[in-house]
A and B are shown apart, each in its own frame.
Chain A
Amino acid sequence: MAKSNSWRQFKAILRKDLVMELRTKEMVTSMGLYALLTMVVYQIALAEAGDSFDVRLVMPGLIWVAFIFMSMLGLNRSFVHEKDQGCIDALLLSPVDRPVIFFAKFAGNLLFLLVVEVLSLPVFSFLFLQGREGFGNPIWMIGVVLFGASVGISGVGTLLATMTVNTKGKDVMLAVLFVPLMYPLLRAAVGATFAAVIGGPGTVETFWLFMAWVAGFDVIMVLVAYGLYEFVIGV
C-alpha cells in the first residue's frame, strides 16, 4: 500500500476546491458582488462631499471594511461544500494529516480572496479617484499590503469557518469571532494602505512599519490556527 503523501494531498484538496469554485463560482461571485455593492453605497454616501473633501484620506479604511466583511461571505461558503452529503467525513476518514487540510483550505481561500480584491481595486479607483491625484507611492505597495493582510484574513478565517460550520447561525457566529480577532490586522492594514495611497516624506518608512505589524500578525495567527486545527476539525 502506498504511503500518504502530504504534498499530493495538499495539491488534491486545493485542486478540488478550485475545480468546484470554477464550476459553481459561489465564493468569488458572492464576494465580488458584495464588494461592488459596498463601493456603490460608499459612493452615494460620499457624493455630497464634492471636491472639498480628499477621499483618499478615508479610502484605506473604506477598502478594508469592504474586504473584511466580503471575506466573511467567502469563508462561510468554503466549508459548506465539505458539509454537503457528509464529504468532510470521507476526507477525515482518509489518512491525511489535519494540518494538510488546513493549509490547502487556507491556500484556496487566500487565492479566491486575492482574485476578488485585485478585481475590486480598479473599480474602487474608478469610482473614487477620477479627476483626483492618484496614489502617492508606487502601486506595488498596495499589492504588498493586500497580500500580507489577506494571508492573515484567510488563516484566521479558515480556522474560524471550520469551527463554526457545525454551529447554528454560523454566519453570525463567524462574524462575532472573526471581527474582534481581525482588529489588530485591520488597524495595521489601514495604516499601511494609507501610507501607500497618500505618499510624501516618511510614508515609505511608515508603510514598512505597519507591514511588519501585518507580517507579525500573519505568522502568529497562522501558527496558532495550524496548531489548533487538528483539535478544531477533529473529534
Chain B
Amino acid sequence: MGDTPTNDLAVQVRGLTRAFGVRKALNDVSFELPRGAFLSIFGPNGAGKTTLARVLTTLLNPSSGTATILGFDVVTEAVELRHRIGLISHNPLLYPDLTAEENLLFFAEMYALDNPKERVSELLADVELDHRRLDVVGTFSRGMLQRLSIARALLHKPDVLFLDEPYSGLDPHAMDILDGLIAQIRGDHTFVMISHDLDKGLELCSHALILAAGKVVLFESRDQIDVPTFRETYRATVGSGVA
C-alpha cells in the first residue's frame, strides 16, 4: 500500500453495486472524475446518492464492483484513504456534550495531527467560531453546527471532500461562509457534492451526475451540459417514479 496517490483520477468507479437484501441501492454505477473537479450528484429521494457517498467514503462496502479515490481502493486501502478524504454532511457529526474546541481536538487526535491545538485555533477562526470555542456544541444554532462541521472535515487537510447536502437548513450567512470556504480551497481539492438544489449544484460543479433507482442516468462535464435539457432530464427522473 503506497503513501502517495497513484492515480491522476480523483474518483474512479466501475460497476459499483450495493444491495440491501434483494433491493439494489446502487446498480452497476460507473464514472470517472479528474483531480480538482467538482462533481454535483442529483437525484430523487431513494436514488442511491447517500449510499454512493457512504461507499466512496469507506463507510459501506460495495456488494460488487470497484471504487478508487486518488488511486486508493475504498475497501482494501480504506485506512490510507481515510487520511485523504473528508465528509461534510447535513448531520453535523459532532458530539453535542463536548465544546467546539473539544470536538475538534478529539478528531485531531483521531487523525494524529502534529500540532492539533494550532490547527484547531486556525480553523475556528476560519469558520468564525473562535468566540464560541469553549461553548458546548449542543447550544449551537444549525448554522454554527454546520460551520463547525466544516472545520472538522478540513482538520486533516483532505484532498477530496464529500458534501452530503451541505446547504440543507443553513441561513444565508452560513451559506455565504460555506461558499467562501469552498471558493478558498477549491483549487487544491476535489469535491463530490450531493444536492437537491439544481441551481446551486450547477453553479458550483465542473461535472454533474444524475442518479435514479441506483443507476447513472446522466454524467457530463459542465461545458457539455445544456441546462434546460439537464433540468428536463432531472425532472423526468424525479417525476417518473424511478426512485
The residues of A with any CB-CB pair to B shorter than 8 Å are 1-5, 8-9, 11-12, 16, 19-20, 23-24, 81, 84-87, 89-97, 234-235
B114 at the interface (CB under 8 A from A): yes
Q: How far is the CB of B90 from chain A (nearest CB, A)?
A: 9
| B136: chain A residues within 8 A (beta carbon) | 23
15 other A-B residue contacts (CB within 8 Å) besides A16-B106, A94-B107: A4-B79, A12-B106, A12-B110, A16-B98, A84-B96, A85-B95, A86-B89, A86-B93, A87-B95, A89-B93, A90-B94, A92-B59, A93-B57, A94-B82, A235-B59
- Bound-complex Cα distance A235 to B76 (A): 13
- For the complex of A and B, the 3 pairs showing the least CB-CB separation, nearest first, are A12-B109, A90-B93, A94-B110
Q: How far is the CB of A10 from chain B (nearest CB, A)?
A: 10
A23: nearest chain-B partner, CB-CB: B97
A-B contact pairs, 15 of them (CB 8 A): A1-B157, A2-B111, A4-B110, A8-B112, A9-B112, A12-B106, A23-B136, A84-B95, A85-B91, A89-B93, A90-B87, A93-B86, A95-B79, A97-B79, A234-B61
Q: Interface residue count for B (Cβ, 8 Å)?
A: 34
- Bound-complex Cα distance A4 to B83 (A): 9
- Bound-complex Cα distance A128 to B38 (A): 69
Q: How far is the CB of B192 from chain A (nearest CB, A)?
A: 14
Q: CB within 8 Å of A: which of B55-77?
A: 57-61
- Bound-complex Cα distance A162 to B110 (A): 19
- Bound-complex Cα distance A206 to B111 (A): 48
- Bound-complex Cα distance A222 to B12 (A): 39
Question: Judging by beta carbons under 8 Å apart, are B95 and A16 in contact?
Answer: yes
Question: Judging by beta carbons under 8 Å apart, are B102 and A93 in contact?
Answer: no
B92 at the interface (CB under 8 A from A): yes
- In this complex, the member of A3, A24, A84, A95 whose beta carbon has the largest number of chain B beta carbons within 10 angstroms is A95
Q: CB within 8 Å of A: which of B94-142?
A: 94-98, 102, 106-107, 109-114, 136
A97: nearest chain-B partner, CB-CB: B79
| B95: chain A residues within 8 A (beta carbon) | 16, 20, 81, 84-85, 87
B216 at the interface (CB under 8 A from A): no
- In this complex, the member of B82, B94, B110 whose beta carbon has the largest number of chain A beta carbons within 10 angstroms is B110
